[in-house]
Copies of this chain bind each other. A is one copy, B any other.
Amino acid sequence: MKISELVEKLRTKNKKYISRAISLIENENSNSIELLKELSDLTGNAYRIGITGPPGAGKSTITNELIKLLLNQNKSVGIIAVDPTSPFTGGAVLGDRIRMNEIGIKPNVFIRSMATRGSLGGLSIKTIDAADILDAAGFDYIIFETVGVGQSELDIAKTADTTMVVLVPESGDSVQAMKAGLMEIADFFVMNKSDRPGAETAILSLQTTLMLRDHDENTYLPKIVKCIASEGKGITDLLEEIKLHHKFLVDSNQFEERRKKNTRIRIKEIVERNLAIDIWSKQRNNLLDNNSSSPYVTAEKIIEHYKKEILEVKNQ
């Protein structure tokens, strides 16, 4: 199938072709770049939501409830799950997975899990590429569900228009180290399981930390939305908060700016990954082992070798 044909089919939200297109990207098929270039004029319409937080905070349940709410409002939703503990990606318990799958077969929903390990690498690039496919396919919303440990997972969540960080009252200690990272990317927080003991204390403590941060009139002060996702409680508030944040971005002229910044980061990653692929040819990989001297001397030799190769190719 020609790429232009695939793009045509995509546009009808046909799940088979959406899957195929994402697989081209995931497997780094030689046609994938052509596909992405063709799509670029068709993207930018979907609203992108990042959902992240520590394992066990209930991100998938929230995602699931949010999908249901959006479907009720006649919206379509694409989900990219890069969370190894998510029922969407085969983690968690069987009952959860079945429940999630029921949502997945509805016509206005497309769920794709992306492998976090054992893949060819470039995970954050590929998740954004996959989002472009869903965007071009015409989904109104795209949700990135990522587990909030590890820089690359945070990087993915950060590329959304609105990013929420899901916590539970017990998260306190275990997020200590991730906190700084999670704080920086949160447009708002969700305190899930807010009926549990310690919820109010956890909210107060979070609020205190948030107040201590530098802010001016262009800063959106992250709110804390309470919910009990397993009972479907608070999900409307959560969607409301997404819309408020969107409105803030638009009103303060930060919406396009944020998207541009994300595109810059994306291009940088693409460039660096392509250079890395370029430089680690078999020949230069062999140079890695001739390291009788300092690693820094070997590194210089490898870069020199690479530059010489560019020169030879260009002068041909």
Contact = CB atoms under 8 A, between A and B. Distances in A.
Interface of A: 33, 36-37, 39-40, 54-56, 83-85, 117, 147, 149-152, 173-174, 176-178, 180, 260, 263-264, 266-268, 270-272, 274-276, 279-280, 288-289, 291, 293-299, 302-303, 306-307, 310-311, 314
A286 to B, nearest CB: 11
- 4 nearest CB pairs, A to B: A40-B294, A174-B174, A270-B299, A55-B177
Given A299-B270, A303-B274, A310-B310, A177 B84 contact: yes
A268 to B, nearest CB: 7
B268 A56 contact: no
A280 B291 CA distance: 28
Given A260-B289, A271-B303, A275-B275, A147 B177 contact: yes
A125 to B, nearest CB: 9
A83 B176 CA distance: 11
A267 B298 contact: yes
A85 B176 contact: yes
A294 B36 contact: yes
A302 B267 contact: yes
26 contacts: A33-B296, A37-B293, A37-B296, A37-B297, A54-B177, A55-B176, A56-B173, A56-B176, A84-B180, A117-B180, A150-B150, A150-B178, A263-B291, A263-B295, A264-B288, A264-B291, A267-B295, A268-B288, A270-B295, A274-B299, A274-B303, A275-B276, A275-B303, A307-B310, A307-B314, A311-B311
Contacts of A288: 264, 267-268
Contacts of A296: 33, 36-37, 40, 270
Contacts of A152: 151
Contacts of A83: 177
Contacts of A307: 310, 314
Nearest to A35: B296
Select the residue from A40, A56, A147, A260 with max chain B CB neighbours within 10 A.
A40
A173 B55 contact: yes
A228 B237 CA distance: 46
Contacts of A36: 294-296
Select the residue from A37, A173, A294 with max chain B CB neighbours within 10 A.
A294
B280 A268 contact: yes
Contacts of A85: 176-177
Given A33-B296, A40-B294, A272 B268 contact: no
A151 B39 CA distance: 32
A218 to B, nearest CB: 20
Contacts of A56: 173-174, 176
